Structure 1
Amino acid sequence: MANIRQFRILVMGRANAGKTTILQRVCNTTDNPEITDGKGNKVFIATEVEAKCFQRGHHNIEHELVFSSNPGFVFHDSCGFEAGSARQFDEMKNFVVDRAVTTSLKKRIHAIWFCIPMTDYHRTVTAAEQKFFNECDTGHVPVIVLLTKTDALHLAAMEELLDSGLDLGGAKQKAAEKERELLERWLAHIKGMLDKCKFPPKAYVSVQKMQEEGADCMALVQCTTNAVNEEGLQRLLISTQKSSIALCVEYAVRK
């Protein structure tokens, strides 16, 4: 464990789930990551089409994404497979299984972030999510479900409040409370479905306002730390993350 200097995370979920934005916030940057092929060779984004593909999350899962602001994290990005082919799903599954048990400690993934965007809250759990959690045994590697783009619930909250008879001013005053209520409701729904799967998630967390610079990632890092549940990896993650001094202090006191 002492030889491992980078915390490796596989990020999954539908296209347009805000995955790249979350990684930027965790690493405290607005820059795009450096991409390598896993052997140290840089993967260059040479054309405008390639740049758009990157922004939309179209990556080779084997590629390593590292931000210069925090090279202690290595990310792998799995393409959204909700409408993908069986081949894409099998490639992802093979990667997960291989990297969960590989004898090369430096190549193992330590956690999986599975993003479900609230922009699609009417279809929060699709057949693709159920397929993953029923067929992909990640072994000791914890899967954390991230509820992303939760600000999309604002419109739904306003609609419910206005439908209840409130005027626009009254609805605006109660909107934040109603958003929290809706988020809790959808979280309970997602947990209720995924916890019934053969290989359910280890934890759930909502990430909010990730589109804003300086967004608070403490809940995500703390949830991941607890889910890893292995002291060596917990120390690595705590030392790698730079978003919360308070978390470092809390962990030090707890240990």
Structure 2
Amino acid sequence: MKKIHRFRVLVMGRANAGKTTILQRVCNSTENPEIFDGKGNKIDGDVVQGTLKRGVHKIEHELVFCSNPGFVFHDSCGFEAGSTRQFDEMRKFVVDHGAMTRVNERIHAIWFCIPMTDYHRTVTAAEKKFFNECDTGHVPVIVLLTKADALYLPALRGFLDEGLAIAEAKERAAEKQGELLDKWLDHIKQELGKCKFPPKEYVSLQKMHQEGADCSALMDCTANVLNEEGLQRLLISTQQSSIALCVQYAVHK
């Protein structure tokens, strides 16, 4: 474990699930990441944008933020509408990089994003396919309920439809938002819990669009599901989200 220098995460989920924003918050950055091929060669950002517009994406590409190069991210882009070929490529990447003999090339965790902007279809065929057919081995998968703030508007509309004044509706909508989040979280847990390879844990993320948003819940959750102490130490030392988490881990150990 002493040879591991960077914590590597595969980020998955639908388009517009807020993945890049979460990575920016984790790395305390407002910039886009630098992108490297699997051999450490930097790829021109314009070239990457051009390939994305043509529907081409390579999961092998490494996304690294200058503000925190201790994290390396891989993005499984376009998973929702992916073909069988794309799914097979993703699964091969997970299997290969989950069991790499070179520890610095292994993926250490998978963050699977489900946006609450799509709360009416939280678990689609794509999610079920992944959790039924993709055995990630010892690499833990955490489901991230992203854009949880989106549940505020349906909560507000519900109270307005009931005839409440706007001031009272706003006051009650925040509490109702929490209830809706709990409802959809329970639904997702039930659906994915039936799958062959269910996720290890779940965490909801709010206000990630705000600069300086709190990512400590994600870091805490990820640290808790790691099955190797060395990986826990690496994550705790790499993350910049929570001093409290560093202290908690130090006291616990």
Q: TM-score range by the shorter chain?
A: over 0.9
Name the CA distance, whole Å, in 1 between partners of 2:177 and 2:219: 23
RMSD: 1.7
Map of 1:123 onto structure 2: 121
Unpaired runs of at least 5, structure 1: none
1:193-212 to structure 2, matched below 5 A, reads 193-212=191-210
Q: Paired residue for 1:45?
A: 45
Aligned-partner Cα distance in 2 for 1:24–1:135: 30
- In structure 2, the residue matched to 1:160 is 158
* Amino acid aligned to 2:16: N
Structure 2: state its 5+ residue gaps. none
Identity of aligned residues (%): 72
**TM-score under structure 2 length normalisation:** 0.96
Correspondence 1:61-140 to 2 at 5 A: 61-140=59-138
Tell me the residue number matched to 1:7.
7
Q: CA deviation at 1:52?
A: 7.1
- 1:243 has 2:241 as partner: yes
Deviates more, 1:44-53 or 1:221-230: 44-53
Contact kept, 8 Å, 2:51 with 2:57, in 1: the verdict is no
> 1:228, 1:164 → 2: CA distance?
46
Q: Is the 8 A contact 1:221 1:241 kept in 2?
A: yes
Pairwise CA distance, 1:58: 6.5
Q: Amino acid of the residue matched to residue 50 of structure 2?
A: E
Deviation string 1:82-136 (CA, Å, 9 cap, x unpaired) is 2221111111011001111121111110000000001100000000000000000
**Rounded Cα–Cα distance in structure 1 between residues aligned with 2:129 and 2:115:** 18
Q: Offset of 1:75 from its aligned partner?
A: 0.3
Q: CA deviation at 1:165?
A: 3.8
Q: Residue 229 of structure 1: CA displacement?
A: 2.9
* Residues 158 and 172, structure 1, Cα contact 8 Å, conserved in 2: yes
Alpha-carbon distance in 2 for matches of 1:229, 1:60: 28
Instruction: Return the alpha-carbon distance in structure 1 between the equivalents of residues 238 and 212 of structure 2.
Output: 17
State which drifts further: 232-241 or 83-92: 83-92
Find the residue that maps to 1:180 and give its secondary structure: helix
What TM-score, normalized to structure 1?
Answer: 0.95
Decide whether aligned partners of structure 1 residues 186 and 252 sit closer, same or farther in structure 2, where only a CA change above 3 A counts.
same
